Amino acid sequence: MARVVVLYSTSGGGHLSAARALEEGLVRTGGGAVEVQLVDAVGRYSSRAVRMLPAMYSRVSRSPALWFAWYLLVAGPRRSRLVDAVTGRLCRRRSAALFTDHPADLYVSVHPALNGPVVAALRREGPAGARFATVVTDLVTMSPLWFCADADLCVVPTAGAARLALGSGMPAERLRTAPYPVAESYFGPDGGTSSRREARAVLGVADDARVVLVVGGAEGVGPIAQVVAALDAAATGLVVLAVCGRNRGLAARLAAGRWRNEVRVIGLAPDLVGLLRAADVVLTKAGPATLLEAAAVRVPTVVFHRLPGQEEGNVDHVVTAGAAVEAPTPKDAAAAAVRLLDEEAAAQRMRHAQTRLAAPGASAVVAGLLLGLVAPVAGPQVPQPVPLPLQRRRGVRRVRRLRGAAA
């Protein structure tokens, strides 16, 4: 029995979503020979200062200027190594407790905060022979903290991410590309979730209603209130599902609003796949998990907000693929949503592009790579990435400049 521990953090919602998709893929791929545990490593096995990260993320992500300053703090490999060293000292005692509480053959991280410190602690005092792997849950632009040269394996979702990994010192022989892990439940009704009609029945929404889903991630980030107001002004006969996450102030403001359309305020969404299936269009910030989950469900997507630096490559990735459009203002976002509602041909073109972007079986592909570290596993395999010429994308070029300046 191979024991696998997947390490995540509650900062945002995408890391946990990826962790659950990996758990599903590991269990399916390994059959009865794999035991999987999900562990909040930042919340349970770090110092008091590091445990503040989820709360800091919630506050900082709502201010683009503060977020960009935080992003620049570790924009170069030298700075990221310094942060790793400081974090390792702060978390040394608690990291050791992780291995006592959760002994395993393989530790897999889907969050950058503790990769270096956990690998160092694992080599120093972890279970004999245990391996460590990172599954990067950003698409193209990301912090160098993701890339620990001492990890046994690093799995990245795009060629752009592979180039950044190599430039950050990740050895090529331990680097693999594989599709971003999305749970199979997002890929059609046969994946185990309801159809569009059934999803609407659960919500009490009419089959012929025009439903717009507005999402700002688990923290309710971005100008969600302004987007909802712009939608309300742009069209009538809409059902707007506004997901506010942990942002209670935003939820209260929307609930108190006086709207022409039906506006339903939702906190943390326990069933995002059901909301996506019920929607005709989704308006979202540029979180990678939501973008690819929307692509898996094939719901036309409008991006209304991006976090500077980290999420810029996400937008370029999906827009270039034709799987989403970006709107620079709430008014533009509302206009784009109404256009997709009114123009079925445009919506259908986007759905077709989304089928090429989101990969069914992605979690099984990644699971096969991970389990290959601890036991031979029959299953989908992917080749090593081949470094490609630099693609002239705004997000990639910008982060390369930032990393060069920080180094």
Tokens of 181: 């892990």
Categorize the per-residue pLDDT at 278 as very low, low, confident or very high, splitting at 50, 70 and 90: very high
| Helix (H), strand (E), coil (C) string for 120-132 | HHHHHHCCCCCEE
- pLDDT above 80 (res 330): yes
Tokens of 78: 């030298």
What pLDDT, on a 0 to 100 scale, did the predictor assign at position 35?
Answer: 92
**Predicted confidence (pLDDT) per residue in 350-396, tens digit:** 999 999 888 788 999 999 999 999 875 444 444 444 444 433 334 43
Q: What is the DSSP string of 9-48?
A: --SSSHHHHHHHHHHHHHHHHHGGGEEEEEEEHHHHSS-H
Mean pLDDT, range 58-69, rounded to an integer? 68
Residue type, 144: P
What pLDDT, on a 0 to 100 scale, did the predictor assign at position 145?
Answer: 83
What pLDDT, on a 0 to 100 scale, did the predictor assign at position 235?
Answer: 95
Q: Are 134 and 370 in contact (CB under 8 A)?
A: no
Categorize the per-residue pLDDT at 266 as very low, low, confident or very high, splitting at 50, 70 and 90: very high
Categorize the per-residue pLDDT at 303 as very low, low, confident or very high, splitting at 50, 70 and 90: very high
Superfamily assignment of 190-357 in CATH? Glycogen Phosphorylase B; (3.40.50.2000)
Categorize the per-residue pLDDT at 71 as very low, low, confident or very high, splitting at 50, 70 and 90: low
Selection from 10-19, 116-125, 352-361 with the highest mean pLDDT: 352-361
Residue 212: strand pairing partners: 240, 281
Which contiguous run of DSSP H or E holds residue 156?
Answer: strand 153-156
User: How would you class 281 by CB atoms within 10 Å of its CB: exposed for 0-12, middle for 13-18, buried for 19 or more?
Assistant: buried
**Predicted confidence (pLDDT) per residue in 220-248, tens digit:** 888 999 999 999 999 999 999 999 988 89
Question: Where do we find the tokens 């990172």?
Answer: 134
What pLDDT, on a 0 to 100 scale, did the predictor assign at position 384?
Answer: 45
At a CB cut-off of 8 Å and minimum separation 6, what does 155 contact? 133, 134, 135, 136, 176, 177, 178, 366, 369, 370
Task: Examine domains 2-182+360-406 and 190-357 and report if their fold is the same.
Answer: yes
Question: Does the domain at residues 2-182+360-406 carry the CATH identifier 3.40.50.1370?
Answer: no
- pLDDT above 80 (res 337): yes
Query: From start to end of 27-121, where are the E strands?
Result: 34-40, 106-109
Range scoring the smallest mean pLDDT among 74-83, 251-260, 261-270? 74-83
Residue boundaries of the structural domains of the chain? 2-182+360-406, 190-357
